[in-house]
């Protein structure tokens, strides 16, 4: 005979399940229009969850989702990206108010964990949300790919892994893949007469992918990668892992010289540990240094060794429109007002992940992901959408192509090491233009 | 005793049929049904995981702080070994289509070709469901065998030591295995993660979820039946005796180390099964994400549901998933009330729940009950009858 406890347990489960289903089926009513006069803190979610609906005042309310790493190793990107997406929603509500469309945003934390990302996407789906912006990690995108495809959820992402350069209906990636960045860096080495490069990289999917891409691209110019040394990027391994990789890199490069370079493939915090290890190295401290889109503009890396970065004529490339581009300037000003700091790295891409969806919805009047998927494919062929990152072209895999890069470096300004925009790589022509303030970095 | 176990199992089957019908064949809106379908699969998988944890923690009192290691081993068995076996089986067809053997240069395969190759393999598996089933069962069986073996191997150095040393060793072992395998590309494509061919590639859309729901539910029912029978057997009673007083149990001739080894091997095998199911269900695995947090999520579920009984373990999993999902949906609304960042709300609520449960109801939602044994007089009567 089953015990009384068992039946109590069964009853508890049934009651909880019924209550949960009732809560799921119940959709909270739309909240009042979001306030746009004050900037929310970068770490808070925005408006209440509401599926696509039409209010009494004939304003169509469309809710989009954002899946961002608000915790975990990429929290620094996710928090800033959340602010960029909130800004995009605010801008879209101003731009498309005349069309009778009001956008709302629901943010979920994916923690850069594939399991969590899929579960959160399923939760967003249950809320009637069919458009999700901001997915950051390639591993998350891999985990949600099939679910998004099967359930027609349109996703815009900032993942850059070449692994995902495959057919992926309903998924669009706004930044170019790491192969594009490798092309820029190889062109930069070539322009500066570099013949030998040693690489220290984060041993994660991004670091490994970019390193391999650089090795492939430099071969085309006859540049030799004399060694590539990975380190465990987890904070618990810092700074010993970075120091060990730097020592190996120094030994591999052997002798310094004007034809030699040190490439740092890192994020900001771990990049700081690499810089601290390399600035006193007898070999590496005497060659040029290069970075990537994930450590230029970094505050930690600058604090760790700004003088050393300037002495090594440190330069890196960030996928970006021309800094004089009016769209980018507008975004940068708005972002600074809204979020309280200048945009860095991927912020303009986060902005565009949300804005391209909302613009497509507003222009077509459709909230059908299949329709918007076709619209984005068409726009991607013609470069119709021009956002904070410039005109957006997609290739056959829905990945960004013809991306331009801003070359960013460190120079001493009034005695202080400072990030400057040193040049511009035109993605269409493949040409590098040196800005007047960047001349010193390009001189031998 | 047998009747009690069977009644509980029947109740579980009925509950699964009811929620399955609700998720797959009810007039609920599709978006709600899709969420329910997926939550049910997670509950089934984590149900197996937490039931196995319950045998170690709830019955034996083993400080199992390295439980996530067996989800990881399950993922390695599927993403690192079974997947390669399928690639080997189809390597000639892949060579014809793509001009390269997928495993000839594993780093290139992992970095560039996984999706193209897996897409091709899925097409072929869709034409051959029997092979798909074989591949699924092979991955599951391998995960169980590897988990059982490695579970004992990793715990062996401290198996005779006090509980805290064993707990620390298990925690460290989980992290050790995660870090080593995450940075070793040949294991399961390292930092890129392994894309896993779908053993049920013939089933598309909702049918695929239904197949996984049936498969995971069947494994959950089998796990519950086996673990509940063990828990109510003389072996299970010996485990409780060791948990309550190791010294007393040793005095009565129970070999504590042997019991620990058996329980570790048996429970680890089923945790490995959960890891394999999770990897197959996701079609993708990346070993770096098997962090200790997944061990403590299992502990949270078990503490909430109730230690030392398998019904409590399942109730804990159900309550955890439902609360977590509702928090995800309504946390933005709660933010307006709480005036706080909702990002860490779930962590705070589950942390608070554990504290409150441990303070006011340490036995959990479903308390452990004494094991029912056959009445001594009835045993004597049977013996008398046999003698006559």
Chain A contact probe: residue of B47, B176, B192, B363 with most A CBs at under 10 A: B192
Q: What is the pLDDT of residues B29-76, one digit of tens each?
A: 888 899 999 999 999 999 999 999 999 999 999 989 999 999 999 999
Provide the pLDDT for residue A162: 81
Tell me if B382 is assigned to some domain. Answer: no
Put simply, the answer to whether B289 touches A23 (Cβ < 8 Å) is: no
> What confidence tier does A45 reach under pLDDT thresholds 50, 70, 90?
very low
Domain match, A313 and A427 both:
yes
A182 shares its domain with A307: yes
In-domain check, residue A33: no
Which residues of chain A have a CB within 8 Å of the CB of B333? Answer: 28, 48-49
Q: Are residues A237 and A260 in the same domain?
A: yes
A437 within domain boundaries: yes
Judge whether B11 is closer than 8 Å to chain A, CB to CB. Answer: yes
How many domains does chain B contain in total?
1
Residue B352 CB neighbours (<10 A):
10
Same domain, A210 and A167: no
pLDDT band at B335 (very low <50, low <70, confident <90, very high): confident
Whether A78 is covered by a domain: the verdict is yes
Over pLDDT 90: what percentage of chain B?
A: 64
**Averaged pLDDT, B64-90:** 96
User: Do A136 and A255 lie in a common domain?
Assistant: no
Residue B143 has pLDDT above 80, yes or no: yes
On whether the CB atoms of residues A157 and A171 are closer than 8 A, the answer is yes
Interface of B with A in 128-187 (CB under 8 A): 179, 183
Residue of A20, A23, A163 with shortest CB distance to B112: A163
Shortest Cα–Cα distance, A82 to chain B (Å): 12
Say yes or no to pLDDT of A384 above 90.
Answer: yes
Q: Is A443 on the interface with B (CB under 8 A)?
A: no
Q: Averaged over A52-61, what is the pLDDT?
A: 62
Q: Which residues of A touch B282 (CB under 8 A)?
A: 114-115, 118, 143
Query: What is the complex's ipTM, to 2 decimals?
Result: 0.86
In a domain, A8, yes or no: no
On whether any CB of chain A is under 8 Å from the CB of B192, the answer is yes
Judge whether A19 lies within some domain. Answer: no
Question: Which residues fall within 8 angstroms of residue A150, CB to CB, at 6 or more apart?
Answer: B204, B205, B208
In a domain, A12, yes or no: no
Is residue B113 scored above 70 in pLDDT? yes
Residue B387 forms part of a structural domain:
no
Range with lowest mean pLDDT among A69-78, A329-338, A416-425, B39-48: A69-78
Nearest Cα of chain A lies from the Cα of B152 at a distance, in angstroms, of: 27
| Four-CA torsion B319, B320, B325, B329, nearest 10 degrees | 90
Residue at B384 is within a domain: no
Structure confidence by residue, pLDDT tens digits, A269-281:
899 999 999 999 9
**Cβ of B4 and A8 within 8 Å?**
no
Provide the residue range defining the domain that includes A151.
53-175+346-401
pLDDT score of A37 = 35
CA angle A431, A433, A435 (to 5 degrees): 170
Using an 8 Å CB-CB cutoff, list chain B residues near A1.
3-4, 7
Q: Please write the tens of the pLDDT for every residue from B221-245.
A: 999 999 999 998 889 999 999 999 8
Residues 320-349 of B with CB under 8 A from A: 322, 325-326, 328-333, 335-336, 341-344
Which residues on B lie below 8 Å from A163 (Cβ)?
A: 110-112, 114-115, 192
Asked if residue B388 belongs to a domain, the reply is: no
Whether residue A234 is contained in a domain is answered as: yes
pLDDT in tens, A173-232: 998 888 889 999 999 999 999 999 999 999 887 888 899 999 999 999 999 999 999 998
Same domain, A208 and A283: yes
Judged by DSSP in three states, A51 sits in coil
pLDDT of residue B318: 95
Indicate whether A293 and A238 sit together in one domain. yes
Residue B4 in contact with partner chain A when CB distance is under 8 A? yes
- Residues A279 and A415 placed together within one structural domain of the fold: yes
Greater model confidence, A36 or A80 = A80
Query: From the CB of residue A423, how many other CB atoms can be counted at a distance below 10 Å?
Result: 23
Residues A285, A136 within the same domain: no
Lowest mean pLDDT among A35-39, B235-239, B271-275, B349-353: A35-39
Q: Which tens digits make up the pLDDT trace of A89-116?
A: 999 999 999 999 999 999 999 988 889 9
| Residues A190 and A299 both lie in one domain | yes
Q: Is residue A141 part of a domain?
A: yes
Q: Are residues A420 and A295 in the same domain?
A: yes
How far is A258 from chain B, CA to nearest CA, in Å?
A: 33
Domain range for B17:
2-376
Exposed/middle/buried for residue B72 (C-beta within 10 Å: 0-12, 13-18, 19+): buried
pLDDT of residue A97: 92
Whether residues A384 and A416 fall in one domain: no
pLDDT tens for each residue of A347-361: 999 999 999 999 999
**Is the pLDDT assigned to residue A18 strictly greater than 90?**
no
The number of folded domains in chain A is: 2
Closest residue, chain A, to B203 (C-alpha): A150
The verdict on residue B100 lying in a domain is yes
Q: How confident is the model at residue A1 (pLDDT cuts 50, 70, 90)?
A: very low
């Amino acid at each position: 005979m089953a015990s009384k406890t068992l039946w109590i347990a069964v009853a508890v489960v049934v009651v909880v399940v019924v209550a949960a289903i009732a809560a799921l089926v119940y959709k909270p009513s739309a909240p009042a229009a979001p306030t746009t006069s004050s900037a929310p803190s970068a770490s808070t979610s925005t408006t209440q969850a509401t599926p696509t609906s039409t209010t009494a005042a004939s304003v169509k309310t469309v809710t989009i989702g954002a899946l961002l790493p608000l915790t975990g190793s990429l929290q620094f990107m996710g928090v800033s990206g959340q602010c960029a997406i909130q800004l995009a929603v605010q801008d879209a509500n101003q731009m498309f108010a005349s069309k009778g469309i009001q956008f709302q945003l629901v943010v979920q934390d994916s923690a850069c964990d594939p399991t969590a990302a899929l579960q959160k996407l399923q939760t967003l789906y249950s809320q009637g949300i069919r458009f999700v912006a901001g997915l950051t990690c390639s591993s998350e995108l891999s985990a949600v790919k099939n679910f998004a495809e099967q359930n027609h959820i349109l996703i815009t992402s900032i993942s850059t892994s070449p692994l995902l350069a495959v057919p992926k209906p309903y998924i669009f990636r706004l930044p170019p893949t790491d192969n594009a960045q490798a092309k820029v860096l190889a062109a930069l080495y070539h322009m500066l007469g570099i013949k030998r490069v040693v690489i220290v990289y984060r041993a994660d999917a991004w670091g490994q992918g970019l390193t391999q891409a650089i090795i492939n691209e430099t071969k085309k110019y006859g540049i030799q990668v004399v060694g590539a040394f990975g380190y465990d990027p987890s904070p618990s391994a810092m700074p010993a892992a970075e120091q060990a990789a730097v020592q190996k890199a120094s030994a591999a490069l052997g002798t310094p010289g004007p034809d030699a370079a040190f490439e740092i493939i890192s994020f900001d915090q771990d990049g700081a540990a690499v810089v601290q290890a390399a600035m006193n190295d007898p070999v590496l401290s005497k060659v040029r240094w290069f970075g990537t889109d994930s450590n230029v503009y970094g505050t930690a890396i600058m604090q760790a060794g700004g003088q050393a970065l300037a002495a090594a004529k440190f330069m890196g490339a960030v996928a970006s429109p021309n800094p004089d581009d009016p769209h980018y300037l507008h975004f940068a000003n708005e972002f600074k007002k809204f979020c309280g700091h200048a945009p860095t790295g991927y912020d303009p891409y986060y902005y565009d992940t949300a804005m391209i969806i909302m613009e497509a919805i507003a222009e077509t009047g459709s909230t059908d992901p299949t329709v918007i998927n076709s619209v984005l494919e068409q726009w991607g062929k013609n470069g119709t959408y021009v956002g904070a990152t410039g005109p957006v072209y997609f290739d056959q895999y829905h990945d960004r192509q013809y991306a331009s890069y801003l070359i960013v470096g460190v120079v001493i300004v009034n005695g202080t090491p400072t990030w400057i925009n040193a040049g511009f790589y035109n993605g269409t022509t493949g040409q590098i233009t040196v800005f007047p303030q960047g001349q010193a970095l390009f001189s031998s | 005793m047998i009747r009690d176990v069977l009644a509980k199992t029947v109740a579980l089957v009925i509950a699964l049929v009811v929620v399955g019908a609700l998720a797959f064949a009810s007039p609920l809106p599709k978006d709600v049904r899709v969420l329910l379908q997926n939550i049910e699969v997670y509950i089934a998988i984590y149900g197996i995981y937490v039931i196995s944890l319950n045998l170690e923690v709830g019955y034996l009192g083993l400080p199992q702080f390295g439980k996530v290691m067996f989800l990881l081993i399950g993922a390695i068995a599927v993403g690192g070994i079974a997947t390669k076996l399928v690639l080997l089986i189809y390597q000639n067809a892949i060579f014809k289509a793509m001009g390269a053997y997928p495993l000839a240069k594993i780093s290139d395969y992992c970095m560039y070709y996984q999706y193209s190759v897996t897409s091709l393999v899925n097409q072929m598996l869709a034409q051959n469901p029997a092979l798909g089933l074989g591949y699924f069962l092979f991955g599951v069986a391998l995960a169980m065998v590897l988990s059982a073996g490695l579970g004992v191997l990793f715990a062996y150095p401290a198996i005779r030591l006090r509980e805290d040393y064993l707990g620390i060793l298990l925690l460290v072992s989980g992290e050790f295995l995660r870090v080593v395998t995450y940075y070793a590309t040949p294991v399961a494509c390292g930092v890129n993660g392994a894309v896993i061919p779908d053993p049920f590639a013939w089933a598309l859309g909702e049918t695929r979820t239904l197949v996984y729901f049936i498969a995971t539910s069947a494994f959950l029912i089998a796990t519950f039946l086996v673990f509940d029978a063990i828990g109510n057997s003389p072996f299970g009673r010996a485990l409780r005796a060791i948990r309550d007083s190791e010294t007393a149990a040793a005095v009565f001739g129970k070999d504590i180390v042997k019991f620990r080894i058996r329980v570790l091997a048996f429970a680890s095998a089923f945790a490995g099964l959960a890891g394999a199911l999770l990897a197959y269900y996701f079609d993708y695995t990346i070993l770096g994400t098997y962090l200790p947090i997944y061990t403590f999520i299992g502990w949270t579920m078990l503490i909430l549901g109730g230690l030392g009984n398998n019904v409590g373990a399942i109730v804990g999993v159900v309550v955890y998933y439902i609360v977590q999902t509702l928090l995800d949906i309504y946390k933005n609304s709660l933010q307006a009330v709480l005036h706080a960042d909702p990002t860490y709300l779930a962590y705070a609520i589950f942390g608070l729940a554990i504290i409150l449960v441990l303070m006011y109801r340490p036995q959990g939602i479903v308390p452990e009950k004494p094991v029912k044994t056959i009445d001594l007089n009835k045993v004597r009567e049977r013996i008398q009858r046999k003698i006559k």
